[in-house]
Amino acid sequence: MKQIFCVTPGRFTVNECKIPQPGPGEVLLKIRAVGVCGTDLHAYQGTQPFFTYPRILGHEIAAQVVTPGPGTTRFHQGDPVTVLPYFNCGSCIACRSGKPNCCTQIQVAGVHTDGAHQEYYVVKEPFLVAGKSLSIEQLALVEPLAIAAHGIYRTRIKPGEWVLIMGMGPIGLGLAAIAKIEGANVIGMDILPDRLQIAQKHFGVDYTIETGNHPDEAIRELTSGDYPTAVIDATGSQKAIEAGLQYLAHGGRYTLVGLQKEPFSFSHPEFHKRETTLQSSRNATLDDFQRVISWLENKLLKVEPMISHRIPFNQLTEQFPALLLPESKTIKAIITFP
C-alpha cells in the first residue's frame, strides 16, 4: 500500500491505495523528495489558475527507479531521476514548433493531472531525466531552476547588460544566478529584506532594492540613467507586473515568469515609446533541465541557501499550512520521504 495526500482548498486528505504497476513505456518510481512550489501554495489557497480539485500536488521531483515497465530501455532499478512534469501531446502546433512546454493540450503534473505527493508514482519514460551525480535535494530543485533557465533563455540576456529581477523567491533567485552565469549585471528587488540578503550573499545579485524604498530613483542611479534593458517579473503580483514597465529602458525586453489570475494593464504611451518587447515564459524544456543539471554538477548553481524548510512526508498535513504564514519566512520547502 502507498499513502497519497490529496488537496482541496484549505485542506489535505490522506488516502491509501495499492502500489501501481507500470504499463508499457512507463516506469514506477519511489519518490525521495518533492519541492513545494508557489503553485502548490496557491492551489492550497484556492487561487491557482488552470486548476481543478481534488488534486495530488507535486511537480518538483527527486525519485528512484523501482520497476521499468515493458518496452523501456533507458533506466534501471535504483537509477536516480527527476521528472519533466509537463506532459505534452507531441502533435499540436506548439509541440511541432519545438515548444512542448506550452503544448495546447499540456497536462502538468500536480496541476492538470496528479503529481508526486505520494510514495510511488508512475511516469512515462520520455518524461524522465537522469539524475547523474546530483543529491536528492538538487534533483528536487532541478525543475524550478529550469523554469528560471527558460526565463533567461526567453529574455536573451547579453553579457554586460543590466537586468532587473523582481521577486527574490526561489524562481527569482534562480533567475539571478543564471543571469550571472550569462554575464549580466543583476539588480534584485523584493519587499522582504531577508530575501535580498540571501540573493546578494549566495546568488550573485550585484545590487538589491527594497520595493518600498523609491525603486525608480535607485534603479536610475545604478544604471547611470539608462535603466535596465531587461526586466523579469518573478512575483506573479499584478501590482509588481504593472509597475515593472517604468523600470525598463527604451528598446528593452520585459519577461513575465510569474503568474496570476487577473488582467494587467500598462499605459499605452509608456509601453509604446519604449518599443517594448513583452513576453511570457512558461514551464521549461528538456534542454533547460539538462543545462541546469550541468550547472549543478559544475557547482555554478547551488540549492542549499534557498531551502528554508524540510517537511517529512508523514507530517505534510500538519506543517504545510504554516508555509503560508509571513513569520515562517518560507523561501523553498522540501518534502522528504522515508
Tens-level pLDDT at each residue, the chain (338 residues): 788 999 999 999 999 989 999 999 999 999 999 999 988 998 898 877 767 889 999 999 999 999 999 999 999 999 999 999 999 999 999 999 999 999 999 999 999 999 999 999 999 999 999 999 999 999 999 999 999 999 999 999 999 999 999 999 999 999 999 999 999 999 999 999 999 999 999 999 999 999 987 899 999 999 999 999 999 999 999 999 999 999 999 999 999 999 888 899 999 999 999 999 999 999 999 999 999 999 999 999 999 999 999 999 999 999 999 999 999 999 999 999 99
Q: Return phi, psi of residue 248, to 5°.
A: -95, 135
Q: Can the peptide bond before residue 20 be classed as cis, meaning omega within 30 degrees of 0?
A: no
pLDDT number for residue 52: 83
Rounded (5°) CA angle 101-104-105: 95
> Would you report the helix, strand and coil content of the chain in percent, each value rounded to 5?
35, 25, 40
Distances (CA, A) of 24 to 2, 86, 121, 262, 293: 22, 20, 15, 42, 28
Instruction: Kindly state the DSSP code that residue 156 receives in the 8-state scheme.
Output: T
Q: Return phi, psi of residue 77, to 5°.
A: -55, 130
147-157 tens-digit pLDDT: 999 999 999 99
pLDDT number for residue 174: 98
CB 60 within 8 A of CB 148: no
pLDDT number for residue 130: 98
CB 29 within 8 A of CB 64: yes
Pairing of strands 80-83, 60-68: antiparallel
Residue 301: closest CA among 289, 286, 310: 289
pLDDT number for residue 271: 98
31-73 tens-digit pLDDT: 999 999 988 998 898 877 767 889 999 999 999 999 999 999 9
Domains by residue range for the chain, with CATH? 2-141+303-336 (3.90.180.10), 148-280 (3.40.50.720)
CB 102 within 8 A of CB 9: no
pLDDT number for residue 42: 86
CB 306 within 8 A of CB 170: yes
**Residue 242: Cβ-neighbour burial (10 angstroms; 0-12, 13-18, 19+):** middle
pLDDT number for residue 328: 93
pLDDT number for residue 322: 95
pLDDT number for residue 47: 79
Q: Return phi, psi of residue 206, to 5°.
A: -80, -40
